[in-house]
Amino acid sequence: MNHTLTDTEIKRSTKQDMFESPDFYGIDDLLTEEHILIRNSVRDFVKKEVSPIIEDCAERNIFPDYLVPEFGKLGLFGPTIPTEYNPNGGLDYIAYGLMMQEIERGDSGMRSTVSVQGSLVMFPIYQFGSEEQKKKFLPKLASGEYLGCFGLTEPNHGSNPGGMETRLEDKGDYYLLNGAKMWITNSPKADVAVVWAKNDEGRIQGVIVERSMEGFTTPTIHNKWSLRASVTGELVFNDVKIPKENVLPNVSGLRGPLNCLDSARYGISWGAIGVAMDCYDTARRYALERKQFGRPIGGFQLIQKKLAEMLTEITKAQLVSWRLGVLKNEGKATTAQISLAKRNNIEIAMNIAREARQTLGGMGITQEYSIMRHMMNLESVVTYEGTHDIHLLILGHDITGIQAFR
Ligand code: TGC
Ligand code: FAD
């Protein structure tokens, strides 16, 4: 990746990140030593490298791209992919979830970069790619030498990706790609894009588009109030010649991209817990320090109600994601179960962020604290990877057997 930033160009805060995670039901006892080690190493990294720079990045709308190889060194990219293709891989889905929890505790935009790279770029190449594609792309994506993006959403097709208009025409020796994708995380910086397009028969196929291909551009989307430390853009294909060896050979149909989304949505369910924990921890500390009417506000029943309800919802969400991780490890997690976890955990994170912000009074709207940034980020998280209502409809379909999408 072509880095445009160094860490010296970003203002580092000297404020220490004191985060401590709540573990009210002893969930740590359900984890292995390796899980805890991984969780703690990502937590330490976030405290040292993300928390000090993230407010400045979010304020100035800067993607700290110099962190991408650092994420690679930490093993955040594609941790469940076998070590044959990812030297840091071979881990289970609980380890992956804990990584997403910790990185999103720092910032949802950082988790976006990581989950797109791992679940939406490396996963489809690993799951549906040829041996040559796996060897060519996976090690570079795992190390962060390459940054990837995932192109499914189009200007006219968001919740309904099956209606996509991007076309892949067979020209004999090669394919020709035409169309556009919208709202693509990482796209302006990406070296490779996994793109979903319809072939001559109208079937959806996945292709690996490389930065150097003529006719391929990635304009940045500006003026976001959310995920400001993440970079989002378009993918525009104007007669892009795609070599036949860049088509993912082992999948066709919407199940290709939706299968990748299952993995990314699972990670988001853990990431949302990270955000909720950060907001709760900030509110708890503040409530013990801030005095009004001659005593800490944490002594007032209404503040205690907020904190007690936050802890209750975090604990329930932790149990949901942990159990879902076990089901994923056993290959049993269903799309509807994943929808329940993504939907629930983002909703509780949004509620907790709002209550935590109010606990801080006026200070809650400042950059001194992470809560307002998290609140703004969650507006994207509740929208991407399937909106809140789409996940409700996936659950409704599962419960009744009746599709209510159309
Ligand atoms: P439907 O008819 O239900 O299904 C079409 C085909 O797909 C199969 N299928 C799945 N396969 C694997 N995994 C799943 N989760 C699957 N869900 C469905 C299904 O069996 C069928 O197969 P076949 O062989 O019969 O064709 O599809 P539909 O067109 O009715 O749509 C269903 C719906 C609305 C649930 C789906 O399209 C959907 O999930 N929409 C939301 C779109 C979405 O989530 N987009 C995300 C874009 S990527 C993104 O946001 C990245 S942000 C990353 C970040 O920054 O973190
Ligand atoms: P629409 O589909 O137009 O939905 C608008 C509203 O209508 C929503 O409330 C929705 O719930 C509702 N709605 C739609 N259909 C129905 C229905 N059948 N019944 C009831 N209500 C319905 N996409 C990618 O492919 N790759 C990425 O990397 C990526 N990154 C993103 C990053 C950010 C910051 C954001 C904001 C989005 C990103 N997306 C990405 C796109 C994201 O997945 C879409 O925004 C999302 O799927 C919703 O699509 P839409 O925005 O077109 O909304």
Q: What is the pLDDT along the chain (406 residues), one digit of tens a residue?
A: 666 666 668 999 999 999 999 999 999 999 999 999 999 999 999 999 999 999 999 999 999 999 999 999 999 999 999 999 999 999 999 999 999 999 999 999 999 999 999 999 999 999 999 999 999 999 999 999 999 999 999 999 999 999 999 999 999 999 999 999 999 999 999 999 999 999 999 999 999 999 999 999 999 999 999 999 999 999 999 999 999 999 999 999 999 999 999 999 999 999 999 999 999 999 999 999 999 999 999 999 999 999 999 999 999 999 999 999 999 999 999 999 999 999 999 999 999 999 999 999 999 999 999 999 999 999 999 999 999 999 999 999 999 999 999 9
Q: What pLDDT was estimated at residue 9?
A: 82
Determine how many CB atoms are found less than 10 A away from the CB of residue 14.
Answer: 5
From the CA of 265, the nearest ligand is 1
Residue 295, H or E segment: strand 295-296
Residues in the chain: 406
Q: Please tell me the residue having the least CA distance from ligand 2 atom 21.
A: 389
- Of 159, 164, 221, the residue with max ligand 2 atoms within 8 A of its CB, to mutate for a pocket test, comes to 159
Assess whether the C-beta atom of 258 lies below 6 angstroms from ligand 1: yes
Give the pLDDT of residue 5: 67
Residue 293, number of CB atoms within 10 A of its CB: 8
Cβ atoms < 10 Å from Cβ of 82: 12
Helix (H) or strand (E) holding 41: helix 33-45
Question: In the annotation, is 385 catalytic?
Answer: yes
Is the whole-model pTM more than 0.85? yes
CA distance 141 to 286: 40
